[in-house]
Structure 1
Amino acid sequence: MGRFARGGAMVGALVLTASLALTGCGGDQKKPEFVSGAQQTGAPAAVGSTDAPSPQAVAPLTVSPADGADDRPVSSEIRAKIPGGGEVTKVVLATADGDTVEGQLRRDGSSWVPSKPLKYRTRYTATVTGTGTDGQTHRGTSSFTTMAKPKSMIGSGLYMFSGKTYGVAMPVVAEFSPGIPKKDRAAVQKRMFVQTDPPQRGAWHWLYNGTQAYYRAPEYWKPGTTITVRLALAGIPLSNGRYGNVDRVATAKIGRSFEMKVDNATKRMTVYQDGAVIRTLPVSLGKKSTPSSSGTMVVMEKKESTVFDTRDEPDPDNQYVTKIDFAQRLTWGGEYIHSAPWSEGVQGRENVSHGCVNVSMANGRWLFARTLIGDPVTVRGTERKLVPGNGWTAWSMSWSEFVEGSALPVPEGGAGPAF
């Protein structure tokens, strides 16, 4: 069982393109909260009249951030409300220099979200246009200024690279250092956007200490899925006085279906591709004093050649320095699938490892050439259960258990995209 420090955060590029309108209380969708006053003329004068039409004031929209607001977070969203309900049709956010910010309305109509963080210490003007349930056009503006860059920030990471292809069990993994306080997780989760093509519902699950959050669907991703992620964290204010540091973005692809299932009873690994068995391999798992973990893990890291150094283990019997070939990490604690020529004589019959899944040199090479980061590995029948958070453990629980870890309510079948 090897030991290595956890990898750094992985960041990619994201472009969000959907644009949805808000509807008022007269429609089936949720009423918006959108923008500030305008004047409209009333009905024309009667035929033959020489009097000019009398102007009628249109009830103003209410905009947030409010006009004149100062020290607003760079994560601010534009909210507005049309009195009596209606539909917001256009939002323009611009600096005093005329530079505009792209953005889009949330699907639930609650706000307009800039597609990138606002700039620090910058004055913005939001101009909103909408149609009321009375059929009249409402317009309004609000100018506000963002805060200076805060000194106390929270670190963040995204374990996904843009342009990469992952296995069907690859969760979206957000990491925070220090962890997000429990009372702040709902607000942070609202700013963590995931879209999939083809569409698949999903949910977030927070680890107990708030250092990581996983996003997955009820089942493995469909092969060929494109996953687009934006952790819109820059400027989010937290209750501990810290602020989010940066936005993390990535667009990645899901490859073919490839699963590895290990049974301690038979000491065999069965390998499936696209649902069909393509090979069965003999294995040796962890001995009783250092058992392998039972649960569903994913391949987190691949190294064709590395060195396992466990000389800091308290038990002298578990201390060694060994060169390892075809290593595929499954847990942060140091469980791997790897070739082990020294145990080939007992593979399929006896467990002798320090917690890893031992395979022969030939089988290790064969697996290594075919796996992707994010491929699922399920081990069953061992003396130890996989500990949540020891690796990307998003799939080592039922869907009902998984959604219990969300900071926001999850609709049956999972939440859809925000936009």
Structure 2
Amino acid sequence: MKLTATAVKEAKPKSKAYKLSDGGGLYLAVQANGAKYWRYKFRFTGKEKLLALGVYPKVSLKDARAKHRDAQDLLEAGIDPTMQKQLNKLAALTAAENSFKAVALEWFEGQKRIWAEGHSGKVDRMMTKDLFPYLGNRPIKEITSPELLAVLRRIESRGAREAAKRTKQIAGQIFRYGVATGRCERDPSQDLNGALAPNITKHRAAVTNPKEVGPLLNALDGYQGTAVVNAALRLAPLTFVRPGELRQAKWADIDFDKAEWRFFVTKTHVEHIVPLSTQAMAILRDLYPLTCNSEYIFPSARALSRPMSDNAVLAAMRRMGIEKNEMSGHGFRAMARTILDEELHFRADYIEHQLAHNVRDAHGRAYNRTAHLPERKKMMQAWSDYLDNLKAQAKTNNVVTAQFR
């Protein structure tokens, strides 16, 4: 006699497990603890076998019968249903391991070891917000160019053209990792060159006119906030490193005897040396007694174990009335690049090396961190002296003549 939904629901546990048959080898196994399991007993190549079809009530009577029919169809085709179930599980496991998300996270784990914390966070948010919700569970080898483009179009629709471009780049790196590890055959992002709306280039604000530099630097010197931020504001133009490199600078990387700051540039993957002028060294020596208990030269005001906020320098400039269209954290790099070339006439390769740009020699090799170091030491001291001269001019409104080369 066939089971009914009511009979299945009302089946009560007994002192021992028992079975309620639905016919054709399908039955409900009721355990002494009240658990109910669907089972299908059949014979294959003369041997009795048992196939688990699920747990009630997650699998209803109707669902169990559908699974039962599928198993019977396999038997008629000469296929063992239990073996097929194992193969399906293996296929599902393999698909999960080869999903876009799984490959992306594997790639990310390898890359974040050499990335700055801030960059790792940005990539993580980019994947979590814009890629995983739409591509995460898809087998990476099945993702097509139009499918990826649709995801990027969603980002563009927010007006975030630059984010769409960066997301495409990240997706491309994930696909290429998938190719390298045998999970997919090609990178579909390569088909999308020219498919996204072009970016509207926005140059970071920078003061590059020498007549305007002196008043700006005098304003920075006079910042009335914390000593840590004041020191960062004064050191930024002297070293013209990237804002993230400045705020994450560590005391262990400063060689006081050689007057050098050595660190790894995550953006270009090279070791870098910043020769420190006498003015820069004076700032560091004054700051050392205040922050030497932290590994960071410019620790957070809330915790010595963390560097200061990436917004600390910008916020300080804004409080002083320096607007965002006048000067940015990156602006000191543009200032140095322009004036060292046009006013002080230092060689372009010295400047590019000091900016930690990815300069290559005639053989395509990235520059050695010690390249032109004696010349760069002279350049950095000349730069600091020149800035002092501009500040003096701004205070007195007189032209001060000095020899910087």
Instruction: Give the TM interval when normalised to the shorter protein.
Output: under 0.3
Question: What TM-score do you get using the length of structure 2 for normalisation?
Answer: 0.27
More strand as a share of residues: 1
Question: What TM-score do you get using the length of structure 1 for normalisation?
Answer: 0.26
Q: Which has the higher contact order (CA 8 A, sep 6+)?
A: 1
More helix as a share of residues: 2
